[in-house]
Copies of this chain bind each other. A is one copy, B any other.
Amino acid sequence: MKEFFKVTELARVLETVSVFPGVGVEDIPLVEAAGRILAENVVADSNLPEFPRSTMDGYAVRATSTFGATEGNPAYLTVKGAVAMGQSPKFAIAPGEACRMPTGGELPKGADSVVMIEHIEALDDTTIEVYRSVAPGQHVLEIGEDFQQQETILSGGQKLRPQETGLLAAFGRETVRVYKTPVIGIISTGDEVVSIDATPAPGQIRDINSYTLSGQVLKAGGIPVSYGIVRDDYAALSEKCRQALDCSDMVLLSGGSSVGTRDFTIEVISDLPDSSILAHGISISPGKPTILARTQNKAVWGLPGHVVSAMIVFKMVVQPFIEHIAGVTAGSSQLSKISARLNRNVSSAQGRTDFIRVRLIRKNGELRADPVLGKSGLINTMVKADGLIEIDINTEGLDEGSVVEVIPF
């Protein structure tokens, strides 16, 4: 049996992520920042809230004025006035006094708590009966209770979810520094591949990988730019690679997985200016023929032509590199895995990392991972599947009933 290339272990390949520089930063309006990766540490320039706020409708009081109050033995308080929303009260509350308080309003000086409207009765315009005691601080957001001035509220590398953009709004951050969105060039190769607007002649197929990979780049937080289809021709592919490299932060080639064209893809990538091959073959299945090069400090990938292999290699190998150059700090993806129980035995070869497509199904109220078997040229297996499970290099398969972590896609 011939050995076509010396494969590199997946973990070794993933370590090389650190040789690639990030894409740089830009300042953008907060309204456009949802989903972007923060590129600065943000420090609170004030307390949040800046004044004590009521969390209920009711009356602001000194808590001591209500101590011991019950329905049978209410406290009688003198109403000093009413706080209006958005205005700072001009009066103070003394023992035995209260003032009408809307949710979100500022507590007057002297008041330290709020009695809910449900627990008082107004006797007349200036007197209320209070039926329950409150503790100091009750139904109040204290100054700085959400965030204290000088506190670091967000750190670079975080993805800005809706709550983080809201937090930046609270501190009046009209613009925010984020990592640029990496631009990923995508090239399909192969004499058999035609554009989707063409009717394939016998022996030809339409270009699928440009669409699947573009969608994956978008989901991974990149901007896909398709450079179309290149025939299996050294000069044409080399020229297209240079074009894509000039305008992209990373380049994905797909196709060329047959022995002849594979040799020729590696030759084209090797011959690009300032290019070195980091991996030529990875010990994963599917996806073994994958090529990774560092070209002008950018990652250039030669992905398999089979649609399933290309998608799986993208998800498990390429995506961490995109996240790295996009400034994402590690760790978050771990939380998106879904635990499920394997629905049948799955075999795997030792010495390589296997990725198994699975469908998630509910069975007796329990989540099951049901392997979707099928050749890596069959896109229907990806359409049926909800995610992947990984069988590591030292494991020889998994038994039915094992708990597995499903990586959704």
Contact = CB atoms under 8 A, between A and B. Distances in A.
Interface of A: 1-2, 30-31, 34-35, 48-51, 53, 55, 57, 84-89, 102-106, 117-119, 141, 145-147, 153-154, 160-174, 190-193, 196-216, 218-219, 226, 232, 257-261, 305-307, 311, 334-339, 360, 362, 367, 375-380, 382-383, 386, 408-409
B258 A85 contact: yes
Contacts of A337: 338
B162 A202 contact: no
A346 to B, nearest CB: 20
Contacts of A201: 86, 88
Contacts of A383: 153-154, 163-164, 167
Nearest to A209: B166
Contact of A141 (B48, B193, B367, B375): B375
Name the residue in A146, A260, A386 with the highest tally of chain B Cβ atoms < 10 Å from its Cβ.
A146
Given A84-B191, A202-B106, A377-B53, A215 B146 contact: no
23 contacts: A2-B118, A35-B215, A51-B202, A53-B377, A57-B259, A57-B260, A85-B232, A103-B306, A104-B190, A104-B305, A141-B375, A145-B375, A154-B383, A162-B409, A164-B383, A165-B212, A166-B311, A168-B211, A169-B207, A169-B208, A170-B379, A335-B386, A338-B338
A161 B409 contact: yes
A203 B335 contact: no
Contacts of A205: 49-50, 53, 104, 170
Nearest to A361: B335
* Leading 10 A-B pairs by shortest Cβ distance: A162-B215, A88-B202, A166-B212, A86-B192, A163-B382, A102-B258, A86-B191, A85-B191, A103-B258, A169-B211
Given A53-B205, A102-B260, A103-B306, 17 more contacts: A1-B118, A35-B215, A55-B377, A57-B260, A87-B202, A87-B203, A88-B202, A105-B203, A147-B380, A162-B219, A166-B209, A166-B307, A167-B208, A170-B208, A335-B386, A335-B408, A338-B339
A220 to B, nearest CB: 10
B117 A259 contact: yes
Nearest to A409: B161
B86 A203 contact: yes
Contacts of A375: 55, 141, 145
A35 B218 contact: yes
A35 B214 CA distance: 12
A160 B86 CA distance: 46
